[in-house]
Amino acid sequence: MIAVKLIPHLLAALCLLLVLLRCFASRRKSVLLTSVCGLSAGAFTVLLLRSMPVVSPYLLLKSLLGVGFLALWGVSVAVNYRKNAVALDKNEGGIVSSVAALAGTLLAAFAAGGIAIAKLSDTALATFPPVLLLLVVVIVAVIVGGGATFLEKQLSPRVTITPVGMVVAVVALLLFSASSILRLDLFSPLSMKVMKGVHDLVHQSMESVLIPDHVFVRPVVWKYIGFLFGKEVGFWGGMVIWFTPPVLIALAVSSRKLPSVGHIRQGAQRRKLLAGALREQRLQLLLPLFSLCVLAGAAYQSSFPTVEYWDPKPIPVVANEGGMIILPKKGDILLEDGKIHKYLFKQKEREARFFVLLTPDGQLTVDLDACAICKPDGYGQAEGSVICYYCKTLIPLDTVGKPGGCNPVPIPFTVKDDAVVIDALTLINTWGATVQATTRVKEGGK
Amino acid sequence: MKRVIGLLSAASTSPAVTPIVIGLFFILYIVVAFFTDETLIALMELTRKSIILTTLLALIPLGCLCRMVQDIRRYLTLRRCRGGDVAAVATELFDETVELSPQSGFSALEGHLQALGYRTGQQSGVLSAWRGVSLLPAQLLFTAALGCFFTGVILTTTLRSSDRRMIIEGESMPTPGGGGGIVERISLSPSTGAILAKELTMEVGGASAGQRKELFGLYPPSLHGGAFVYPRYIGISLHVRFFSPEIQSGYENHYTLNTFPPGKEDSAVIPGTPYRVIFSIPQVESGTDRYIAYMTGKFPLQFKLLKGSEAIFTGSADVGSNFTKEGYRLELLDARRLVVTDFIRDYGVFFIWAAGILLIAGGCVWVPIRLFFPRQEMVLLVEAGQFRASSRAEGRSRAHAELFHETLDFAEGAATGGSER
Amino acid sequence: MSPYIIETGGLTRSYGDICALKPLDLQVPEGEWLSVMGHSGSGKSTLMNLVGGLDRPTGGTLQVGGENLLALTEDGLARFRRNFVGIIFQQHHLVPYLTAIENVMMAQYFHSMPDEAEARHALERVGLGHRLKNRPGELSGGEQQRVCIARAIINSPKLLLGDEPTGNLDHKSTIMVMELLKELRGEERFTVIMVTHNQDVAAWGDRTIHLDDGMLVREERMNCQ
């Protein structure tokens, strides 16, 4: 089972090493050694940090991925201004020195190793004795390195990889590998940030040029403006940001100026030179296009995660004569079992959905099954976190009960006689206010 | 010194300035996003306070200006090339420059180029051929639009001031400087426009005798005392008197309620007591204009009296009537229309509007030229026994390059006495 | 640098027990027009196929344009043929459903990339400027062979091989084709190896070698026509 879980990550690591080996073909041995060390080091670091609650290995890896993605953006913009630059054509010396090549290789392999081991849960890892685990990690790293070397030798010598092609492929493979791990995935948080960013940008732009509010605008026009505030814009905007770097690189490659042939008076030579340049251009398009496919896979994995969430059906509850909802801590449902327990309260035509949860620090919390930002699609519980179904934001269990951002909106409650007591009016009013606000967002209100 | 000036000139006219600055702000946005959910507002605030960020942003309009100057200079240099100024023929102006050893007769070449559909001109050792229209005007319009837009953004971010006031029927116009005339009437009516559904008009009488009556609408917003009058929301100003068993003498106050559209609740707090009245305008029947109450000025009101979190009663009444229950009495004395209005001092708005107009104008010029008549040029000159041919195209460059190469073949063929097609 | 474009040493080609070409030593200087004569089965076409990289020898050495053809892989041979050799066959081998210009452009495509203007120019050079859009079936034998010549020279080969190029042509067309080849050779300076059993055609060359039963039996220098 562990092996099956790791297959996509190991394949990604294999491709990554293959790309690195071909890109730095003249330093094959040192690159191979560095990659195997990097893979092992990444895995060891994550294992080590997991046992130390102070530093989160996920934060480290996610930051690394974020920086990698930003660097990819930088490279993709830069090559469009340096279309004929050495960076696009040559992979030896000059722009990429030995040190940079090995440092880049180490970093990429480190991230790949770390991501792969992060896929495994603590329980799965606990089945191995530590020494055996470390040994297995090193053996797997060596096998991946060996496999990549073998494949690289089979590859036609005509296929050359430029530093730009290497960067786009490496970052895409790492993002793909990370996309199947909720806490490392970048695409969903990116979509969420885009949704919020576009909302703010449109809102601020309209305010800047003094455009009247939705009260005065035709509903049909507002529907179009309102579209900009929806989840779809976040998703598609995220897609644009996600896919633009390889597209920009592909554009830079394909719009590269062909060599001047005006000075050649023989047609065949002229054609030969042009055809050679065009063929090379097409070969250089391979990696950006491959990266596009890999990034599409990452976006798909992120949008349709295979993780199963704990998402119980809300249990209907009623208030007593004093307007209080009373939920016993023990009984059919054990409120303090660390899982979220969802309830539905109805009062005439109004209703409110909420859940009770015992957080890891032992505190009970009562929260709306909705946040102050998103459409109230509710939350599901995964390992160590709850996830907002609307924006796919992960909320660590420790922070559930604290207001702000996409956290579930907390509801004041008391504990009396081994039961949780909630004021029904407060609950329904808070739900009303929250849903009214977020529905306005959904409908494009400002 | 010359090198430094050259470097500065290259940097200021580089097309990379805009994306680099935007990229830096984008990265800053990402950094800020780690700390707050209100990222854009925080970034705007940061830009407003930081002279470095403002200067960084100002590089964009500055760069645009430099680029416009550079574009015009390039265009003029190209013109000089065509006019026979050999010194002006610089290779960086062209997409491709080829030097040929044999010298060809210009007259044969001129005929060849004319046959290919180019207009030609021959002056003192320079043969130039061109067709199509230059994209320079469109390019200038686009660059100006970009410059104007970012000038607007800088002004808006750094100098905008906003003052929110209530404009209430029958009361003085609450201008920031004071001394506004009486708001004679606020009216809301259906609009026939494509964008706006409603027309909001605020009629304000002259502040002093002899002053004209002023009208304020929605868009474009009118200026009043140097500030834009930017209507935000509509609501009602309600004059209420409230009695309870504890407040036998009654409490009277004017409340401004943001209760539009109907169904939206706003509360009136009775200060110093646990009482709070939640008002709303009843939902209208489907198909009826939701703003009918505002348009007619007649406001039936729903209300709910809360004592702390306890609901005492709910009810409804027309303005001008009373509601009494269980020792409580609510008198709805008067209701007037009000508009929550921002008085905004921001001259960046003019630049942003101008940018929009320039962009549209640029598009109108660019599309037809680029699609149908892109500028394509060749300049051939004889200099010190050397034959130099240069070519550039603003569109369909591959087709033009083919003709350029064909011309070179022709030139060399003609010179060497080889076969001609 | 060798002055010879073709150098063979003991070049042999056998098909099982049959030896189509017996050890042959041959040098062809760059720019020469060499006619190869002999009866059917004398090894003319075998020699031409070996020199053109269409076939591999079973023994000896073979250097063409500085390339050791025996050392080349299949890909290398294909590249050699694309860049170095132009071939005109007796059967013209034109694609029947493509026009004259498309047939020429196809050769450009396999060499590098098509260029219509250049293909048109090549057909104009062989006097077929008015037949660009005609398919092979709509052309006379002489015209078809001229399309073949245009196709053969379009990639500026260093070596032009002709395998009985005028075998199917009448006398008038033969003269026309040979004159055209001579004119083009003057302009392009390629080396010609022309296999023929026609004495008159062979006489257009600078030198003629006679093969018999796979062996070089006679060699004669010609006076230019």
Both tokens of A220, joined, read: 């049909």
**What proportion of chain B, given as a percentage, has pLDDT over 70?**
93
Contacts of B346 in chain A (CB under 8 A): 208
Q: Residue A125: phi, psi to the nearest 5?
A: -75, -30
Q: Looking at the structure, do residues A55 and A167 belong to the same domain, yes or no?
A: yes
Helix, strand or coil, per DSSP, at residue B204? strand
pLDDT of residue B418: 39
Q: Looking at the structure, do residues A112 and A86 belong to the same domain, yes or no?
A: yes
Average pLDDT taken over every residue of chain A: 83
Q: Looking at the structure, do residues A163 and A247 belong to the same domain, yes or no?
A: yes
Average pLDDT over residues A383-405: 79
Q: Does B402 touch chain C (CB under 8 A)?
A: yes
Q: What is the CATH number of the domain that holds A378?
A: 2.102.10
CB-CB contact of A22 with A152 (8 Å): yes
Contacts of A202 in chain B (CB under 8 A): none
Q: Does A200 touch chain B (CB under 8 A)?
A: yes
Contacts of C124 in chain B (CB under 8 A): 421
Dihedral sign for Cα atoms in the order A183, A187, A191, A194: positive
Contact C154 A267 (CB under 8 A): yes
A7-17 pLDDT per residue, tens: 889 999 999 99
Band of pLDDT at residue A439, cut at 50, 70 and 90: low
Q: How far is A212 from chain B (nearest CA, A)?
A: 7
Band of pLDDT at residue A294, cut at 50, 70 and 90: very high
List strands edge to edge, sheet with C191-195.
C85-89, C159-163, C191-195, C33-38, C207-212, C215-221
A170 domain residue, yes or no: yes
Q: Which domains does chain B have, with CATH numbers?
A: 83-132+374-416 (3.30.310.10), 159-233+343-359 (no CATH), 234-342 (no CATH)
CB-CB contact of B226 with B345 (8 Å): yes
Q: Does A282 touch chain C (CB under 8 A)?
A: no
Contact A215 B218 (CB under 8 A): no
Average pLDDT taken over every residue of chain C: 87
Beta bridge partners of C207: C34, C221
Q: How crowded is the C-beta side of C51, counted as CA atoms within 13 Å?
A: 34
Distance between alpha carbon A192 and the CA centroid of its chain, in Å? 10
Rounded Cα gap, residues B137 and B71, in angstroms? 10
Q: Does A278 touch chain C (CB under 8 A)?
A: yes
Q: Looking at the structure, do residues A264 and A407 belong to the same domain, yes or no?
A: no
Residue B105 predicted with pLDDT over 80: no
A350 domain residue, yes or no: yes
B209-261 pLDDT per residue, tens: 677 888 888 888 888 888 899 998 888 888 999 998 888 888 889 898 888 77
Residue B151 predicted with pLDDT over 90: yes
Query: Is the model more confident about A446 or about B10?
Result: B10
Q: Does A313 touch chain B (CB under 8 A)?
A: no
pLDDT of residue A177: 93
The radius of gyration computed from the CA coordinates of chain C, to the nearest angstrom, equals: 17
Q: How far is B375 from chain C (nearest CA, A)?
A: 23
pLDDT of residue B355: 96
Q: Does C108 touch chain A (CB under 8 A)?
A: yes
Q: Looking at the structure, do residues A131 and A271 belong to the same domain, yes or no?
A: yes
pLDDT of residue A443: 39
pLDDT of residue C101: 94
Instruction: Identify whether B261 is preceded by a cis peptide bond (ω within 30 of 0).
Output: yes
Task: Among A269, A297, A325, give the residue marking a domain's end.
Answer: A297
pLDDT of residue C223: 62
A245-285 pLDDT per residue, tens: 999 999 988 887 778 777 777 788 888 888 888 888 888 89
Query: Which residue among A201, A260, A373 places its CB closest to the CB of B40?
Result: A201
Beta bridge partners of B278: B267, B304
- Nearest in space to B202 (alpha carbons), one of B191, B226, B218, B190: B218
Residue A444 predicted with pLDDT over 70: no
A62-85 pLDDT per residue, tens: 889 999 999 999 888 888 876 545
Rounded Cα gap, residues A334 and A301, in angstroms? 34
Average pLDDT taken over every residue of chain B: 84
Query: Is the model more confident about B264 or about C220?
Result: C220
Q: Looking at the structure, do residues A327 and A248 belong to the same domain, yes or no?
A: no
Contacts of B419 in chain C (CB under 8 A): 125
Rounded Cα gap, residues A189 and A395, in angstroms? 11
Contact C112 A266 (CB under 8 A): no
Residue B416 predicted with pLDDT over 50: no
B308-338 pLDDT per residue, tens: 767 788 888 888 888 888 888 889 888 888 8
Query: Is the model more confident about C187 or about A123?
Result: C187
Both tokens of A272, joined, read: 């030969």
A213 domain residue, yes or no: no
Residue whose entry in the numeric block shows the structure tokens 């020199």: C51
Q: How far is B404 from chain C (nearest CA, A)?
A: 12
Domain tally for chain A?
Answer: 2
Q: Looking at the structure, do residues A293 and A326 belong to the same domain, yes or no?
A: no
pLDDT of residue A86: 46
Q: What is the largest CA-CA distance in chain A?
A: 99
Query: Which residue among A77, A201, A423 places its CB closest to the CB of B23?
Result: A77
A83-104 pLDDT per residue, tens: 545 455 555 555 557 788 889 9
Which superfamily is assigned to C31-56+78-221 in CATH?
P-loop containing nucleotide triphosphate hydrolases (3.40.50.300)
A200 domain residue, yes or no: no
| Alpha helices (runs of H) in A120-230, residue ranges in sequence order | 122-126, 130-154, 163-179, 187-208, 219-227
Nearest CA in chain B to A202: B40
Residue A446 predicted with pLDDT over 90: no
Q: Looking at the structure, do residues A245 and A329 belong to the same domain, yes or no?
A: no
Contacts of B37 in chain A (CB under 8 A): 196, 373, 404-405
pLDDT of residue A436: 59
Contact B402 C121 (CB under 8 A): no
Rounded Cα gap, residues C105 and C119, in angstroms? 6
Contact B353 A209 (CB under 8 A): yes
Please report the number of interchain residue pairs, chain A to chain B, with beta-carbon separation below 8 angstroms: 98
Nearest CA in chain B to A216: B198
Both tokens of B334, joined, read: 């008067």
- Best residue of A62, A190, A200 to probe chain B, by most B CBs closer than 10 Å: A200
Q: How far is B153 from chain C (nearest CA, A)?
A: 50
Rounded Cα gap, residues A223 and A202, in angstroms? 14
CB-CB contact of B308 with B329 (8 Å): no
CB-CB contact of B100 with B408 (8 Å): yes
A193 domain residue, yes or no: no
Region of residue A426 (phi > 0: left; psi between -120 and 50: alpha; otherwise: beta)? alpha
A342 domain residue, yes or no: yes
Helix, strand or coil, per DSSP, at residue B114? helix
Q: Looking at the structure, do residues A292 and A344 belong to the same domain, yes or no?
A: no
- Nearest in space to B64 (alpha carbons), one of B140, B174, B135: B140
Q: Looking at the structure, do residues A24 and A81 belong to the same domain, yes or no?
A: yes
Q: What counts of helices (H) and strands (E) characterise chain C? A: 7, 10
Contacts of B200 in chain A (CB under 8 A): 212, 216
Containing A416, the helix (H) or strand (E) segment is strand A413-416
Contact B218 A77 (CB under 8 A): no
Average pLDDT over residues A100-121: 89
3-state helix, strand, coil in chain A (%, to 5): 60, 15, 30
Both tokens of A240, joined, read: 């644009």
Q: How far is B220 from chain A (nearest CA, A)?
A: 8
Query: Which residue among B406, B418, B419 places its CB closest to the CB of C117?
Result: B406
Average pLDDT over residues C192-207: 88
Q: Looking at the structure, do residues A327 and A265 belong to the same domain, yes or no?
A: no
Average pLDDT over residues B356-369: 95
Residue C219 predicted with pLDDT over 90: no
Nearest CA in chain A to B30: A193
Rounded Cα gap, residues B376 and B90, in angstroms? 17
Q: Which domain holds residue A175?
A: 2-185+239-297
Rounded Cα gap, residues C65 and B380, in angstroms? 38
Helix, strand or coil, per DSSP, at residue A369? strand
| Angle, vertex CA A338, rays to CA A333 and CA A340, nearest 5 | 65
B63-83 pLDDT per residue, tens: 999 999 999 998 998 888 877
* Helix pair angle (C171-188, C141-153), 10° resolution: 10
pLDDT of residue B102: 57
Both tokens of A437, joined, read: 């606000």
Instruction: Name the most confidently modeled range: A54-68, B344-358, C122-136, C165-179.
Output: B344-358
**What proportion of chain A, given as a percentage, has pLDDT over 70?**
92
Q: Looking at the structure, do residues A81 and A132 belong to the same domain, yes or no?
A: yes
Return the domain boundaries, chain C: 31-56+78-221
Q: How crowded is the C-beta side of B72, counted as CA atoms within 13 Å?
A: 9
Q: Does C154 touch chain A (CB under 8 A)?
A: yes
Is pTM beyond 0.80? Reply is: no
Band of pLDDT at residue B150, cut at 50, 70 and 90: very high
| Minimum mean pLDDT range among A302-306, A352-356, C204-208 | A302-306
